[in-house]
Structure 1
Amino acid sequence: RAQADQWVAATLFALHSFAAFSIAAILGQLVNIFRTSVVEAFMPSMSRMEAAGDLKSMMEMNARANAMVGMLLLPMLGFVFAFAEDLVSVVYTAAYVDAAPVMRVYIIGMVALVVELSSVLQLLRQGMFSLGMNVVVLAVAVPLSWFGGLELGLAGAAAGSVTALYVDRVLVLQRIAAVSGVPVRGQQHWASLGRHFAWTGAATFVAWLTVHYAFAGAPLVVRLAIGAAVLAAVYGATNWRNRS
């Protein structure tokens, strides 16, 4: 399912455009590596809680892990969203700058990946549900990617995967609620995730404005360094103020 939109892009677009699309897709692999490292740290404790029948505590630990991931991952995604062209130009040269809009579309989907639920499905022994859901979501994602690619170009081809991620999360949250008895509103620290999202948006906007107006003619590496520093300073200050 994760590669369905890449098959669509390979069918619809020229080799150079597909290369740019593939570059954007690499971002998803990096996000998964980040999430997996956190999940593996919490999984043993969650497994013990599930074995003891304490599903509420298991979900609370999953919520804590996801809140931690959100706090760290969201500003990184915000940075890539704001400075996608500069990043692609530095790493892959300006020849592949077409990857930037696709990266932004993917990032919209990757916000949903902050809420990691596959470990919960695994502990609740919902493998058959997960398999069936993936088939249904794939059937929705491929036509959307095809239509988006035809109508909107490269960025549109990524729309199927993004839509699939959100449909996946909605279905899984409802399934977990039905199996565990923990309502959707109690499964995650939604308020905390919302705050981190809002702070990321504000910090990203300030960083983009600073670089766009004060360092418009600076070398790309300088622009990226300034943008990262401003985003980290604003986001860090906002977090510190609200925690104190």
Structure 2
Amino acid sequence: MSGASLKRGAITLTAANMLDFGLQFLMPIALVRLLPTSAFADYRLAWLAIGTAMAIAPFALPRSLFYFLPRHEGQARAPFVHQTLLLLLFSGACAGLALGPWNPLLPDSLRAMHSAAWFMPAFLTLWVAANLIEFLPNARGDVAGQAKTIVALAVLRVLMVGAAAWSGRADVVFGALVAYAAIKVALVLLHIGRHYGWRVFPLQMPALRTQLVYCVPFGLASALFLLRGQADQWVAAAMFPAAVFAAFSIGAVIMPVVALVRNSVSNAIAPRLSALESNKDQAGMLRLNQRANLASAFVLLPTLMLTAVLAVHIVTVVYTDKYLLAADVMRINCLALLGVAVEVSTLTVVLNQGRFLLAADACLLLVSLAAGVTGALLFGVPGAALGNVLTLAAGNAFSFWRVARVTGVPLRRLQQWGALLRILAACLGAGALAALLDAADLVRAALPEAVLIGAAFALAYAALLKLVGVLPEARALFLAPAPAAASPSSTKHD
């Protein structure tokens, strides 16, 4: 794939995932108005449990297809796809049983959730395997098909869940989610049958062992990383009432925004990174990661800054003033996410550093839980989010150190730090102006004031990007055909 093709792929997937996120963002807005407070709290608690299952049950199997499929041709790819589906169905069933109300380790609020006895086993058995459809087209190089699938499924989900929410009952919404998961599984089966056939058995044990050896360290590390990101929500669910947890979870809504941008870019470049690594092209890998981080920084840094300024407006307009407690949590999460706006985690995967990630994330999970509990005791509900601030930044720093050591490239040359710092400076300047406008309280109504502040921020950000000299780089990344970047200095091959 050329640089221009990779850029189009990244932009296409990001746009599709942004639309998906936008539509999913609308669902809680509707549900908070259509469901009683107790039913909405059940819905948020259910998604906390589902998110935890999705941190563990996939076990890096879907993403491993980005590694194995580019290295094989034709029917040699089929065993990896077939065994991935079988393992996901099994792990999903186990996750559903583990998160049922009979588990005494779960918080009381989650065990008391209405309809949990049937919903978790039924939904998770399907859902873990269903999400394979979000990887399969891209893993075989069909980025456009992947984007179309994401958009179509996002629209279908909103329609199904939205219609169910009119009943005002959480159990009806859960039933719609189970039906939606079944539709996604059907699409997975159709895709596999069309492209890989159905000769599943007997399993090819060498291929299975190879895939498991690759996945085990990354699966454990990914699970620990995602659990670390959810530790604050589990602390809030265990230490505060369900309605308070619902507000806390709203404050974490910015987390998926960053995740979808990062994951879209990572998924678009992962097959190319894998191919470069197999050809021992370390310089090409680093160039690709640098450009991906620059593109992400142009989008993520201003998003986090503006969200922090407008947190009260966002909660008031989107979720009503009943959940204003979420504003402070949202600001803390914006600070935490600054620690991963620029990352090299994709490189650690390609460089097969799963064992290092496993050890680092195991330690940081404990730190996150301890910091969350301490913060909640000292500062109340917003303090439960402090664990994210510490551990996201520390985990990313560890990854940078490890990649620098493995590649032999000095940390100061691992990224285009000068350009990244200038982008951050532009964001800080625009954020200061936005904060002054917010404090001036020029408009009483929350929505018009938020629009005014957002417009002023956007204009100031663009002007400051030009002032600090990085606007041409933004145009090159997003508008012009991707140029061949210079090789990082002092890059050496192992």
Counterpart residue number, 1:221: 447
Aligned residue identity for 2:422: R
Equivalents in 2 of 1:150, 1:211: separation in Å?
Answer: 31
Describe how 1:72-221 pairs up with structure 2 within 5 A: 72-213=299-440, 215-217=442-444, 219-221=445-447
Equivalents in 2 of 1:212, 1:170: separation in Å?
Answer: 35
Per-residue CA deviation, residues 147-176 of structure 1 (Å, 9 max, x unaligned), is 011001122111112211011011111111
Per-residue CA deviation, residues 183-217 of structure 1 (Å, 9 max, x unaligned), is 21111111111111111111011122224326242
Describe how 1:224-243 pairs up with structure 2 within 5 A: 224-241=450-467, 242=469, 243=471
Report the CA distance between 1:45 and its aligned residue: 2.9
Question: TM-score, normalised to structure 2's length?
Answer: 0.48
How many residues end up aligned between the 2 structures? 243
Counterpart residue number, 1:60: 287
Q: Does 1:38 align with 2:38?
A: no
Per-residue CA deviation, residues 49-71 of structure 1 (Å, 9 max, x unaligned), is 22222223312211111111111
Greater C-alpha radius of gyration: 2
- Unaligned stretches of 5+ in structure 1? none
Equivalents in 1 of 2:277, 2:454: separation in Å?
Answer: 40
Give the direction of change, closer, same or farther, for the CA distance of 1:214–1:135 in structure 2 (3 Å limit): closer
Describe how 1:10-21 pairs up with structure 2 within 5 A: 10-21=237-248
Equivalents in 1 of 2:455, 2:438: separation in Å?
Answer: 11
8 Å Cα contact 2:315/2:323 also seen in 1: yes
Q: 1:5 aligns with which of 232, 238, 241?
A: 232
| Residue range with higher mean Cα deviation, 175-184 or 93-102 | 175-184
Higher relative contact order structure (alpha carbons within 8 Å, sequence separation ≥ 6): 1
Equivalents in 2 of 1:37, 1:175: separation in Å?
Answer: 23
Report the CA distance between 1:239 and its aligned residue: 1.4
Equivalents in 2 of 1:184, 1:20: separation in Å?
Answer: 40
Equivalents in 2 of 1:29, 1:208: separation in Å?
Answer: 24
| Residue range with higher mean Cα deviation, 223-232 or 37-46 | 37-46
8 Å Cα contact 1:56/1:182 also seen in 2: no
3-state SS of paired residue (2:253): helix
Structure having the larger proportion of residues in helix: 1
| RMSD between aligned residues | 1.5
3-state SS of paired residue (2:229): coil
8 Å Cα contact 1:78/1:201 also seen in 2: yes
Question: TM-score, normalised to structure 1's length?
Answer: 0.94
Equivalents in 2 of 1:143, 1:43: separation in Å?
Answer: 34
8 Å Cα contact 2:253/2:330 also seen in 1: no
Report the CA distance between 1:103 and its aligned residue: 0.7
Report the CA distance between 1:120 and its aligned residue: 0.6
Equivalents in 2 of 1:109, 1:188: separation in Å?
Answer: 20
Equivalents in 2 of 1:133, 1:60: separation in Å?
Answer: 26
Equivalents in 2 of 1:49, 1:222: separation in Å?
Answer: 49
Equivalents in 2 of 1:96, 1:143: separation in Å?
Answer: 26
Report the CA distance between 1:79 and its aligned residue: 0.9
3-state SS of paired residue (2:252): helix
Per-residue CA deviation, residues 34-87 of structure 1 (Å, 9 max, x unaligned), is 111122222233223222222233122111111111111111111110010010
What is the identity percentage for the equivalent residue pairs of Structure 1 and Structure 2? Answer: 35
Equivalents in 2 of 1:93, 1:212: separation in Å?
Answer: 21
| Residue range with higher mean Cα deviation, 222-231 or 110-119 | 110-119
Counterpart residue number, 2:47: none
